[in-house]
Chain A
Amino acid sequence: MAKHRGRGVASINYPIGMNLGGDPSQALVHSNPDGKFTVALSSIDLGQGMKSVTRQIAAETLGVPVADVYVDTADSDTGPHCMGSFASRGTHRVGNAVIAAAKEARGVMLEAAAEELEVNAEDLETDGKGNIHVRGAPQRSISVADVAIAAQFRQGKTISGRGIFLIPLSDVDPETGEMTPVSCYAHACLVADVEVDDETGEVTVLEMNSAYELGRALNPKLVEQQLVGGAWMGMSHALYETTEPHYPSRENGAVDFNEYLMPGPGDIARHNIAVLERPAPDGPFGGKGPGEMCANPVLPAVANAVFDAIGVRINDLPISPERILRALKTRDGISH
């Protein structure tokens, strides 16, 4: 009876979004008379930070402070259409839609400002602090709030913009069967070090080292947050979580948190992460987004590490103590 150490590696190419019906997302941007902007989306932020990232994207494109942008994702009945928050598509698809909508709104905003300043809209620029001025002549300036008031009450203009992102549909080539399922891939590699106890069948993840290439990290702290939390979930799927019955039938399956197991704060492994940024040509400001890829490489890396430790392949998840002990018995020719 002993504890065996093993190391496993997994590398993945991960598709961002999908290509069903072009995978569209829409965004609507409008200003209120106080010069603050609202971005309406139907994509839901479940805590991954999409509201923060789309807010940054809208502010950057409009040329206004982040504090002056509010992202409203409340209602998919009344908001513009979106395929949803899944398939790691949020940052890329929704971000691109927000850029398109914010560009159009910026155009109207600059037209309205041009009318107030009696200049050509092409000669105007934003300072990112809530002002618009003539390029090269910053004293010829008007605040975004004053432009919004003028547009609303004098010019009769709506400072608003519509945006949609739709990727070209890729049909299957009848000769070769070839198609382009997605337009953009992220990449990752993860090394897992584990310890397998051949008496109890327990697997402990000792350390993870990973590198993720996910385009430009639009909000580095949010990216790190996703990678740390996602790896935990990957570890949980690899070793703990299952709704399967243990013995002998489904009625004995997990029904609550006492039986549906997850690693707790005492079970987490040290995780060193390197984020590699290769801006994606078709991503919003080069971003692809971390998405589900945070969790994915952990599972094969842990399975490979278990193989390295005890020389048996576990082909079903999770790699539970029961599966380890059964596999060891099979390896050693002991009948069950």
Chain B
Amino acid sequence: MTKTPLQFRLNGAEKAVFTEGGQNLLDVLRREVGDFAPKYGCGQGACGVCTVLVDGEPRLSCLTLAETVQGQAVETTSGLADGPELHVLQTAFMEHFAAQCGFCTPGMLMAAKALLDTNPTPSRDDVVEAISGNICRCTGYEPIIDAILDAAHNRRRSA
């Protein structure tokens, strides 16, 4: 099969890989690049665990053709922490016990980051809307919503 060269930035670092025609971004991230933060859940865009940011926009990487991110900036939870310094969202998720089994967490974090990056003062409804494409089986969502609101608050305070 013909392989196509693909260049993009992943969490600030330049990546160059060969993709097969039709290969999706999740597959490229996990198999070609070795970033296992985005998870494979339903494979049809219904669960949100594969959510990554492409040029700041939340995208379901299982439904995104890898070729379409040529030259763009991709963000995953692997790039959230700054060395030992956790991202304000990660700290809030920890403090609010917003993860149990943890499988939905990478997708939740990226959906939340996309929200906070564009709306620093989200309402509870804004948060609910932002994570409505992400399924969580353990927490009942409440701790996740609280964590995101708290992270927004903390980010404003430290800004």
A interface residues with partner B (beta carbon < 8 Å): 46-49, 221-222, 224-225, 228-233, 256-258, 262, 264-266, 268, 271
Contacts and interface: CB of A to CB of B under 8 A. Distances in A.
Contact of B101 (A46, A230, A268): A46
Interface in B103-159: 127-129, 131-132, 134-145
A264 B132 contact: yes
B138 A266 contact: no
B42 interface: yes
Interface of B: 42, 44, 46-47, 97, 99-102, 127-129, 131-132, 134-145
A329 B144 CA distance: 40
B104 to A, nearest CB: 10
Contacts of B99: 47
Contacts of A266: 128-129, 132
Most buried by A among B46, B47, B131, B142: B142
B46 A258 contact: yes
Nearest to A224: B97
B142 A228 contact: yes
The 6 closest A-B pairs by CB, nearest first: A232-B140, A47-B100, A47-B101, A257-B46, A265-B141, A229-B140
10 contacts: A47-B99, A47-B100, A225-B139, A228-B139, A229-B140, A232-B142, A257-B42, A257-B47, A258-B44, A264-B135
B131 A265 contact: yes
A271 B141 CA distance: 12
A47 B131 contact: no
Nearest to A234: B140
A229 B46 contact: no
A233 B139 CA distance: 9
Contacts of B138: 47, 229
Contact of A231 (B128, B129, B131, B140): B140
A256 B139 contact: no
A225 B47 contact: no
B67 to A, nearest CB: 26
A221 B97 contact: yes
A232 B141 contact: yes
A11 B99 CA distance: 29
